[in-house]
């Protein structure tokens, strides 16, 4: 007796293949997101190193750091599109993506000031504070585990809390500073 031969796949075989493809897609998406997070943090670190170099060149030429008058200047707005003022923050004329570090662009030390890779809105933005003698620059939020290691080992605040916090309230940002600016 001959058995009829069926061409094709059984339902079980198809389900196994779909499950394997789904699992591979999930692994790829997770790894892609991790790579993006690491890339953003590496850019933040690089941006701050560039700004630090410009600030140091400004100091070499002018014998002081670009001053904010001891208040915090931000590269990007709050979530509602406004900038904080008062309470340790600079006036609005010293905040924003083109002026958050005074005079380094107009003096020719940088062509433009960098902005956070997440489009410069709270909490993803850069901070700068200086009294002319000392300074601190920082990325407010670091996202990857490598970035958290940089933030923990940079000599600054190591009280890592959820992202939407501000300096002094507990945050985990990458910081560069002069010895006198460490306490800002």
Q: Which residue has the higher pLDDT, 79 or 103?
A: 103
Pairwise CA distance, residues 103 & 136, whole Å: 16
> Residue 163's pLDDT is what?
44
Residue whose pair of structure tokens reads 């002018």 in the numeric block: 62
Tell me the average pLDDT across 131-144. 88
> Residue 92's pLDDT is what?
75
Q: Which of 163, 176, 103, 104 is nearest to 135 (CA)?
A: 176
Q: Which of 92, 16, 100, 97 is nearest to 55 (CA)?
A: 100
Pairwise CA distance, residues 51 & 59, whole Å: 12
Report yes or no: 157 and 175 within 8 Å, Cβ to Cβ.
Answer: yes
State residue 19 phi and psi, 5-degree precision: -65, -40
> What tokens does 18 get?
């779909």
pLDDT digits (tens, 9 = 90+) for 3-59: 666 688 899 999 999 999 999 999 999 889 889 989 999 999 999 999 999 999 999
Q: How many helices (H) and strands (E) does the chain have?
A: 2, 4
Report yes or no: 152 and 158 within 8 Å, Cβ to Cβ.
Answer: yes
* Helix axis angle, 145-152 to 11-62, nearest 10°: 30
pLDDT digits (tens, 9 = 90+) for 83-136: 887 778 888 777 888 889 999 999 999 999 998 998 877 788 899 999 999 999
Residue 166 reports pLDDT greater than 50? no
> Residue 23's pLDDT is what?
95
């Amino acid at each position: 007796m001959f058995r009829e031969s069926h061409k094709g796949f059984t339902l079980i075989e198809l389900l196994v293949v779909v499950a394997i493809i789904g699992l591979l897609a999930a692994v790829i998406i997770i790894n892609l997101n991790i790579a993006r997070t690491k890339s953003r943090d590496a850019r933040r670190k690089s941006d701050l190193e560039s700004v630090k170099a410009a600030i140091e060149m400004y100091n070499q030429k002018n014998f002081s750091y670009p001053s904010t008058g001891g208040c915090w200047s931000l590269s990007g707005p709050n979530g509602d599109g406004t900038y904080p003022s008062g309470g340790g923050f600079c006036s609005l004329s010293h905040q924003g993506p083109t002026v958050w570090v005074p005079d380094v662009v107009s003096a020719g030390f940088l062509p433009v000031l960098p902005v956070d890779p997440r489009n410069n809105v709270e909490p993803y933005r850069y901070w700068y504070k200086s009294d002319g003698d000392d300074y601190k620059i920082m990325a407010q939020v670091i996202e990857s585990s490598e970035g958290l290691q940089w933030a923990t080992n940079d000599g600054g605040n190591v009280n890592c809390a959820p992202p939407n916090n501000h300096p002094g309230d507990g945050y985990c940002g990458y910081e560069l500073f002069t010895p006198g600016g460490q306490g800002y």
